[in-house]
Chains A and B, each alone.
Chain A
Amino acid sequence: MVVDHLPALLTGFRMTVVLSLLSMGLGTVVGLVLVVLRLAPSAPIRGAARFVIEFFRNVPILIQLFFYYYGLPRLGVSWSAFTCATVGLSLYSGVYIAEALRSGVLAVDRGQWDAGLAVGLSRLQTLGHVVLPQAVRLVIPPLANLLVFTIKTSALASAITLEELMHVTETLESETFRTFELFTAAAIGYLLLTIPLGGAARWLERRLVIQR
């Protein structure tokens, strides 16, 4: 019975929650930093930010995780599975978040920039105080998608031995052969995280969205 394995599943669930929350938080920071760099006046900085975004966005996350876990030690850097997963997921979701934010920034009326600069704010201040707050409101649905995506992607950390929900499920499956029941339980575990997040996003959207 799946109930007998609940304690083990809960341990995995807890790890998934910690990894997801941390990666969503750090991913947002990465996204904010990258979007600022991506919109910088200096062309080399813009180019560098663009390169970083394209690189992490276009290499499959599984390869990135394998690189951190099995590749970096060959270069003398040996991170724990948890660190590898957190760094990998944060960067991977961070670059997507940066692109979502950028599309929001581009959708904000050009006049807002002019207004900010006209009252004496610097470019960075205008971006931070005037443009980004409006941009975020425009892109709440895609941002919520990306946070859900981060939670689901965390399952790939099972491939680098991190004992999160997916890894625990696979281990139990191979011991008990209760494939259907266990994967259903795991699916419910992910839904418990993703559905409330989607609900919260809709609530936020209703509260914050700019009515036009």
Chain B
Amino acid sequence: MITRRGLALGVALALLPAVASAQAPAFPPDSTMAKIAKRGKLVAAVKNDLPLFGYLDPKTNEYTGFEVDIAREIARAIFGDPNKIEFKSATTRTRIPMVKEEVVDVALATITMTPERAKEVDFSDVYFVTGPAVGVMKDSPMPGRKLEDYAGKTIAVTKGSVYEKIVKERVPTIKVVQIETHAEILQALQTKRVDGVVTDETNLQSMGRHDPNLVVAVPPFEPYSKYGAAMKQGRPEFVKFVNGVIQNLKSSGKWTEIYTRNIGMAAPAPPPAN
């Protein structure tokens, strides 16, 4: 058994240089891309509960979504094969530690770029722009169309989201409750634990896929969220490489295709790099 496995490994190793030279571009030996190529797969953190962006489909056990497809394009750029990728589920709270602790090579997990986060990880160019909005259940009282109208109400945000601070600063009397995942926030809304949720508008759309009763009560407001891919600091060559992939997607029309496929609306023009 062991010898057979050893044999298979030997054959695989012998074939590896040929395969590598046939498909993958040559990377500088010490670069992150070379290390990923040697490992044989890219490891990416994505969300698992947001159907539009990162979703682990319980029926197929496959990850789907906009960010999943972008991550696959990064794998394609390294290996010539979008399937040489391993996804790991991240929550809002765990995604940046996962990058810092090298659990993953890159995180594409609805991460709004902020100066605080940029101290912890390096970001790619912007690949998506959305904005915070308030979502409520259709059958619950909708206090108004402005965040200020929610004074005294209970609003859920994901643990680790930028919106805890933003909501508290703008309307200090809102009671902010931090909940681990968007899926649990939906439970909290359905059971009237909270009056509303503040998250990116696209996340509300994702949640709306699970429960059509969730509606946008306050349309997106500033500051808008620019999503970037997060990578461990000190790897400028990898950031440059990922930026190259993103730029290519935007200029080739592939970004638009991925947008339409996952978000299901007419795609806007791809966002500028920053």
Contacts and interface: CB of A to CB of B under 8 A. Distances in A.
A69 B192 CA distance: 11
Interface in A144-179: 159, 161, 167, 170-171, 173-175, 177, 179
Interface residues of A, number: 15
B191 A161 contact: no
A74 interface: yes
Given A177-B97, A177-B100, A78 B191 contact: yes
B191 to A, nearest CB: 4
B184 interface: yes
Contacts of A161: 177-179, 188, 193
A70 B100 contact: no
Nearest to B121: A177
Give the secondary structure class of B's interface.
mixed
B92 A174 contact: yes
B169 to A, nearest CB: 13
B187 interface: yes
A73 B192 contact: yes
A196 to B, nearest CB: 30
B148 interface: no
A175 B92 CA distance: 11
Contact of B96 (A69, A70, A73, A177): A177
A70 B178 contact: no
B159 interface: yes
Contacts of A167: 178
Given A171-B178, A174-B92, A177-B96, A74 B191 contact: yes
B160 interface: yes
Contacts of A70: 184, 187-188, 191, 193
A190 to B, nearest CB: 19
Given A170-B159, A171-B178, A177 B120 contact: yes
In the complex, which range does the number of interface residues on chain B fall in?
20 to 34
Given A161-B177, A170-B159, A177-B100, A73 B193 contact: yes
A171 B188 CA distance: 18
B93 interface: yes
Contacts, number: 49
B187 A173 contact: no
Contacts of B159: 170-171, 174
B81 interface: no
Nearest to B177: A161
Given A161-B179, A167-B178, A174-B160, A73 B191 contact: yes
A171 B165 CA distance: 11
A179 B101 CA distance: 10
Given A159-B180, A161-B177, A161-B178, A170 B192 contact: no
A78 B96 contact: no
Contacts of A170: 93, 159-160
A77 to B, nearest CB: 10
Contacts of A175: 116, 160, 164-165
A78 B190 CA distance: 12
Given A171-B159, A174-B92, A179 B178 contact: no
Contacts of A171: 159-160, 164, 178
Nearest to A161: B177
Interface in B145-168: 159-161, 164-165
A78 B184 CA distance: 16
Contacts of B120: 177
Contacts of A69: 193
A210 B161 CA distance: 56
B241 to A, nearest CB: 25
Contact of B192 (A78, A159, A173, A177): A78
Interface of A: 69-70, 73-74, 78, 159, 161, 167, 170-171, 173-175, 177, 179
14 contacts: A69-B193, A73-B191, A74-B190, A74-B191, A78-B191, A161-B193, A167-B178, A173-B97, A174-B161, A175-B116, A177-B97, A177-B116, A177-B120, A179-B97
Q: Which 3 pairs between the two chains have the least Cβ-Cβ distance? A: A174-B160, A73-B191, A70-B187
Given A78-B193, A174-B93, A177-B96, 11 more contacts: A70-B184, A70-B187, A70-B188, A70-B193, A73-B193, A171-B164, A174-B161, A175-B160, A175-B164, A177-B100, A179-B97
